[in-house]
Amino acid sequence: MTNTGTNAATNPDFGALYTAARQRITALVSSGGVDLDKIVPSTPAWRVRDVIAHLTGVTADAMSGNMDGAPGEAWTEAQVARGRDRDLAELLADWEKFGSMLADFLSSPAGAAASAAVMDVHSHEADLRHALGLPFELPDDFLSWAIGGVRDGFYKAVAEADLPAITLNASDAEWFRARLGRRTEAQVRAYDWSADPTPYLDTFFMFGPAELASGEHL
Task: Give this prediction's pTM.
Answer: 0.92
Cβ-contact 89, 116 below 8 angstroms: no
**H/E element holding 168?**
strand 168-169
d(CA 91, CA 106): 21
Cβ-contact 182, 46 below 8 angstroms: no
Q: What is the pLDDT of residues 99-158, one digit of tens each?
A: 999 999 999 999 999 999 999 999 999 999 999 999 999 999 999 999 989 999 999 999
The overall average pLDDT reported for the chain is 93
DSSP at 7: -
d(CA 75, CA 99): 18
Q: 28 exposed, middle or buried (CB, 10 Å; 0-12, 13-18, 19+)?
A: middle
Residues in the chain: 218
Q: 174 falls in which pLDDT band (50, 70, 90)?
A: very high
Supply the pLDDT for residue 1.
31
d(CA 148, CA 179): 12
Residue 11's nearest CA partner among 187, 154, 144, 156 is 144
Q: 32 falls in which pLDDT band (50, 70, 90)?
A: confident
Query: Would you list the domain boundaries of the chain?
Result: 14-131, 140-204
